Structure 1
Amino acid sequence: MRAVLSRPAFRLLFCGLLFSMTAESVLLLALAIWAKDLTGSNGMAGAAILAVVAPMAFAPVLGFVVDRFRRRPFLVAVLLCSAVMLTPLFAVHERGDLWILFSVGVGYGLSFIMVSAALNGLIKQVVPDDLLAEANGALQTVKQGLRLVGPLLGAGLYGATRGWGLAAVGITGFVLAALVISAVRVDERRPTRTELRWAAEVSAGVRQLVATAAMRRVLIGVVIAITVFGFGESVFFAYVDQGLHRPPTFLGVLISIQGVGGLLGGLTAAKVVRRFGEIGAITLGLALFTPWQFAGVLPRVWLAVPLVVLAGLGLPYTIVGLMTLLQRTTPTELMGRTSAAMDALLSAPQALSIAFGAALVGLVDYRILMTAMGVVMTVSAVYLWAGRGLTRPSAAVEPAADQVAGDGGAVRQAETVV
């Protein structure tokens, strides 16, 4: 991680993202808690998350839009729009205002797609391929570390302010992120227009994803897991309520505890990717996350805590492995469309899973649903492990002496990648 943080351009980008990730960590679970509090329904809590995920169906089109602009100014503009988008939350006070909450969730989902697509392209421009795992690991360290305080802060803000505090923190975080990232120095050329038809342009990201055996294997394996992963958005509320006999806000406590493992996972993710390759890292992450799904068999706080820490440890391994493989195998000019296409291909089954979970949680015992989640995720891990040879371990990377001096080396190396 020292190697990538020695680059001034990435350091500044990293600082800006710290503000936006803080806003995200406070908002996401709090929207579900807000919906649960307004309605008393676990299904509505899951539906609030579904509102954020559902826009992923439009990801390929949004990725096409991202690839038509320079990454840094586009990212800044989207972050500012995200801040404006949160202002309607000040008007949510009762059950009849639930549509506002869901509308903001949809807008947040759209902004998340564009931020992710633009960010993946920008990282690829300021960081060379051999430091991509370190860059993704650094970002995951912060994101997972924020789990220690973000959900608790979000739940606390909601309890203290009935919601307006969430909007204020989110708006502030996105505005500060935009201001800092606007100062990142990167030599970006305006994307060139191609002669392809519109449909071919939009589908270019999907074609890029399936062009390599490693990405195909990863997509199939992760989709298998995601077909049940979304159940958790509703099922975990039932687990906390019916199994642990705690209020909905206790889920925020568990996610904060998960951040302990996530912090350790983020710090070691780059080493795991170098040691096992990207597919090996993804598999290990899923394997560590799976035992938590079986916690419903014996709903006890003393068991939930270590299992949720273990799940937190595995999450960054999966994300860093997936992001690094995507960035390493995708040309810069296709980064927005390919990143958005991956979001769509993974989020479509996730959205269906969340929807089914919201419906099933009122019909099927949460313990049965959690056990089914664990079984399916085990199958996914076994499938991916069988294909780990498609990505190879790599050597450790140390910072070169001239990297500490300034941005010039980072920009020049990024240009050679392009």
Structure 2
Amino acid sequence: MTAFRDARFRRLYVGDALSGFGDTALLLALGIWVKDLTGSNSAAGAVFLAMGLPVLFAPLAGRQIDRVRRKPLLMATNAIAGLAVLALLLVRTAEHTWIIYGVAIVHGCVAIVLMAGRNALLKDLLPDRDLASANAAFGTLFGFTRILAPLVGSGIYAAFGGHLLALVDALTFLAAITALATVRVVESPPEPTGERFGSELLAGLRYIRSVPLLSQVTVISAVAFGAVGFLEPIIFVVVEDGLQRPAAFFGVIVSVQGIGSIVAGFTGAWLLRRVGEARAIGGALIGLGLGCATLAVGATPVVLGGAIGIGLAVTWFSIGWNTTLQRHTPSRLQGRVFTTAGMLVTVPQTAAIGVAAGLIVVVDYRFLLAALSLVILLSGLRLLTHPKPTPEATPADGDPASAAGPVPPDPVPADDLVPADDPVPLGDPVPGGVLPSRRD
């Protein structure tokens, strides 16, 4: 993976590995924690709903990411997240589940800033030719994390409860802050402040609409992940009713998904080179639909095999999605484009979680799985067979980006300005400069 040639990327990667491990171990346990406290599948599924609610305000976060120096912003965000998870130490009975939901909401806010910020960091840190490699590396990391973290998290939760997990996660946020402090890069110029608030807020949406590839990928992904949202509450029913397993077996399913994620991480950059961004995303959605369909089979080996396929497909999708947005968006719009695109995809998914939490009480989960699998399959087939052409390069002034306001040319890639082992400190940014990172 060519991105690892840059020492700064390696340091960022290590910090993300540590914090991602703690996050995954804790956050996947939150649903189990609520299930144990309340005995309700719907209440457990609502944890994922709470995590998704902040996406409604994602464009506000994107605007801020594009207007300030991102390194201190992301370091502060990590600190806030670390303090927030410590509130879980107060959870004792079912009456305290509101604290778990509150932490889930904070995590949703944090994830928006960290995801968009890290992708913007990579845009400045690496040349475009290495972006797919970097995103694939994070896909592999995501896979290993999903294998190990749920097992460790489930073990700690079963032996000591969720309080120790909260402490571990808080420490991993500190690790992420330390890693960010060592990453040095020439930052992109910040967003000028002359535009009206509404114009700044909608710049990401206007830009996505102006680039046919981004528009198509966003709309089709929104439809597909609207269907994926049904899976969040259903998975607990699959575990308990379909497989006759305890709720904690959910952690095993998530761990097995990591196997597919690892394979996808090692093959994602190759796939993008072979078939292009749009077709790679379309193929990933088809794989996701097939994987979801296997969950309706009440046999543990089949469900675990489907989980591997889901992990493979989701990671391929993530690599293609992130690379597409990074390559075809100017640096100064990265925050708003990523958060807006994420909102357009996540809002249908979040709404579907709420609907599914009610439907699973009255509708057979196998019927719901069949319906959501069909929607995902058809979405992927459309993108695979009728992709929009890939833009030659990030638009410059006067090109489609003009719909989002004047877009100055991107700065020379950091690798062309700064040797990897002798970087310019972030404390000495380009005049008016701004930038940095995290999560998948």
- TM-score, structure 1 as length reference: 0.93
TM-fit CA distance, 1:298? 2.4
Counterpart contact for 1:76–1:178, Cα < 8 Å? yes
Q: What is residue 129 of structure 1 aligned with on the other side?
A: 128
Equivalent pair of 2:124/2:188 in contact (CA under 8 Å): no
How many residues are paired up?
Answer: 408
Is this contact kept in 2: 1:269–1:317, CA < 8 A? Answer: yes
Q: 1:74/1:405 Cα in 2 relative to 1: closer, same or farther (>3 Å)?
A: closer
Q: Deviations over 1:63-118 (max 9, x none)?
A: 11111111222211111111011111000111000111101111111111111121
CA distance in 2, matches of 1:55, 1:166: 23
The alignment's C-alpha RMSD in Å is 2.4
CA contact (8 A) 2:188 2:332 kept: no
Show the counterpart of 2:367: 368
Structure 1: how far apart are the matches of 2:164 and 2:241?
A: 29
Residue 193 of structure 1, CA deviation: 2.7
| Counterpart Cα distance in 2 of 1:44 and 1:190 | 45
2:57 paired residue number? 58
- 1:406 correspondence with 2:421: yes
How do 1:234-313 residues align onto structure 2 when only pairs under 5 Å count?
234-313=233-312
Equivalent pair of 1:229/1:373 in contact (CA under 8 Å): yes
Q: Which residue identity is paired with 1:137?
A: A
CA distance in 2, matches of 1:310, 1:227: 19
Matched position secondary structure for 1:324: helix
Q: CA distance change for structure 1 residues 33 and 393 in 2, over 3 Å: closer, same or farther?
A: farther
Q: Which amino acid aligns with 1:88?
A: A
| Partner Cα distance (1:353, 1:165) in 2 | 32
Are the equivalent residues in 2 in contact too, given 1:46–1:354 (CA < 8 A)?
A: yes
Does the CA-based 8 Å contact 2:58-2:339 persist in structure 1?
Answer: yes
Q: 2:238 and 2:340 mapped to 1: Cα distance?
A: 33
Matches within 5 A, 1:81-230: 81-188=80-187, 191-230=190-229
The residue type equivalent to 2:328 in the other structure is T
List runs of 5+ in structure 1 lacking aligned partners. Answer: 395-399
Distance across 2 between alignment mates of 1:122 and 1:404: 17
Q: Whole-Å Cα distance in 2 between the matches of residues 272 and 179 of structure 1?
A: 34
Using the TM superposition, give the Cα deviation of residue 404 of structure 1 relative to its aligned residue in structure 2, in angstroms.
8.4
How far apart are the structure 2 equivalents of 1:45 and 1:221?
28
CA distance in 1, matches of 2:382, 2:172: 40
d(CA) in 1 for partners of 2:185, 2:171: 25
| Correspondence for 1:12 | 11
Per the alignment, residue 397 of structure 1 pairs with: none
1:388-407 mapped onto 2 (5 Å cutoff): 388=387, 390-391=389-390, 406-407=421-422
C-alpha distance after superposition, 1:168-187 (max 9, x if no partner)? 11101111111111111112
Residue pair 2:223, 2:345 contacting (<8 A) in 1 also: no
How far apart are 1:402 and its partner, in Å?
12
**Corresponding letter in the other structure for 1:84:** L
| Structure with the largest fraction of helix | 1
Shift of 1:408: 5.0
CA contact (8 A) 1:132 1:324 kept: yes
- CA-CA distance at 1:194 after TM superposition: 2.8
* CA gap 1:319/1:189 in 2 versus in 1, 3 angstroms: closer
Partner AA of 1:375 in structure 2: L
Question: Which residue identity lines up with residue 253 of structure 2 in the other structure?
Answer: L
**Distance in 2, Cα, partners of 1:178 & 1:27:** 19
Structure 2 residue runs of 5 or longer lacking an equivalent are: 394-414, 436-440
Partner of 1:357: 356
Residues in 1 aligned to 2:298 and 2:353: alpha-carbon distance in whole angstroms: 22
Local SS of the residue matching 2:182 = coil
**1:76 and 2:75 are equivalent in the alignment:** yes
* 1:298 partner amino acid: V
Structure 2 SS opposite 1:149? helix
Distance 1:101 1:297 in 2: 29
Indicate the residue corresponding to 2:333 in structure 1.
Answer: 334
After TM superposition, give the deviation of residue 275 of structure 1 in Å.
0.8
Measured after TM superposition, the shift of residue 344 of structure 1 is 1.0
State how far apart, in whole Å, the 2-side matches of 1:221 and 1:140 are: 22
Q: 1:303 to 1:78 in 2, by over 3 A?
A: same
Instruction: Give 2:7's aligned amino acid.
Output: P
The residue that corresponds to 2:23 in the other structure is 24
Superposed displacement of residue 401, structure 1: 13
- In the alignment, the residues of structure 2 paired with residue 41 and residue 152 of structure 1 have an alpha-carbon distance, to the nearest angstrom, of 23
Deviations 1:202-254 (A, max 9, x none): 11111111111111111111111112101111101001100100001111101
Q: Is the 8 A contact 1:276 1:392 kept in 2?
A: no
Whole-angstrom CA distance in 1 between matches of 2:418 and 2:299: 50
Alignment correspondent of 1:319: 318
Contact 2:66–2:191 (Cα < 8 Å) also in 1 = no
Give the distance between the partners of 1:42 and 1:306, measured in 2 at CA.
Answer: 24
TM-score under structure 2 normalisation?
0.88
Contact kept? 1:45, 1:233, Cα under 8 Å = no
Instruction: Tell me the CA shift for residue 195 of structure 1.
Output: 1.3
By how many angstroms is 1:295 displaced? Answer: 2.2
Which range moved further: 45-54 or 21-30?
Answer: 21-30
Residue-by-residue CA offset, 1:362-386 (whole Å, 9 max, x unaligned)? 1111111111111111111111112
